[in-house]
Structure 1
Amino acid sequence: MTSTSPKSTPSLLYSVKRLELAIRSHLDEMLRGSGITTLQYTALTVLAHRDGISAAQLARDSFVTPQSMADMVRALEQRELIHRTPNPDSKRELLVYITESGRGLLRDYAAAADTIEERMAAALPAGQVEAFRTALGIAWSALRRQ
């Protein structure tokens, strides 16, 4: 028989979501006045690591729907933070690349983003930061598998 009494500690799902929302709040504040959103910033960071991918792959890696990414790509392209070129292997597909202006924007916010991450990890014992990163990666991989 299952108990209907509340748990004394929050669920892992709740804890992860709470952390995500706290990070999002700090990123929103960091980017205030930049002219881009946190989701656009995320897409630029993806491109900084995996340049020349399709908009569909960029959407998956940026955690947004393809429809949202289409709007985001247009906005980032208008700001000249990205550009698109035809995929030589597929006539109908365009590949998305970060521009030097996009890389410059990421450089402008790199120290502030590092500060957010350092603040998040500051209370963890030294050896636990990498363990935390590894555990998050393992959990993500486990949920990605179908």
Structure 2
Amino acid sequence: MTSADRKISRSLPIMLLRGREKVMGPIRAMLADVDITEQQWRVLRVLTEEGAQDPTHIAHKACLLLPSLTRILQKLEEKGLIHRHPDPEDGRKQIVEVTEAGANIIRENLGTSIELTRQLRDQMGADRFELLLDLLNELDGLKET
């Protein structure tokens, strides 16, 4: 291994990307079978788990930029997986909710997603898997500089 390889292997951005690909590769294959993207899956998960939301909250929870979310919501609405309507308290805002068809996609595939995560957890060991989650949550909570 060259010294450049060692530096790359200790690069946080590179290792986060590699870890993301390790986790998301099998999930992408699952999502391809139901014809939705990983971003659409995240939006449907947020709506299924937390109920109807305004787009700003969805963008934050699903780790999406608001302009990207706007396009994603349009596609999900075209597929009949979400419904948008004016906020009853503030007509300038909108509320997004998952439809029965969208909720069905989550219900029918969540078990597979959980199983893929379980397999990864088993490979890493439960303690190390939980430590990784704790460290990533801690990283997420740091103030931006």
Q: State the TM-score, normalizing by the size of structure 2.
A: 0.84
User: What is the rounded CA distance, in whole Å, between the counterparts of 1:115 and 1:107 in structure 2?
Assistant: 13
1:52-104 Cα distance to aligned partner (Å, 9 max, x none): 22112212222222222111111111222111122122111101111222111
Alignment of 1:22-61 (within 5 A): 22-61=22-61
- Gap regions ≥5 residues in structure 2: none
Structure 2 equivalent of residue 86 of structure 1: 86
Structure 1 equivalent of residue 100 of structure 2: 100
Structure 2 equivalent of residue 116 of structure 1: 116
**Higher mean C-alpha displacement, 124-133 vs 62-71:** 124-133
Greater strand fraction, Structure 1 or Structure 2: 1
Matched residue SS, 1:35: coil
Matched residue SS, 2:93: strand
1:129 Cα deviation after fit? 2.8
Q: Percent identity?
A: 22
After superposition, the CA RMSD in angstroms is 1.9
Letter in 2 for 1:52: A
1:80-138 Cα distance to aligned partner (Å, 9 max, x none): 21111221221111011112221111011112101221122112233333222222111
User: What is the rounded CA distance, in whole Å, between the counterparts of 2:51 and 2:94 in structure 1?
Assistant: 12
User: What is the rounded CA distance, in whole Å, between the counterparts of 1:13 and 1:39 in structure 2?
Assistant: 20
Matched residue SS, 1:53: coil
How many pairs align?
A: 141
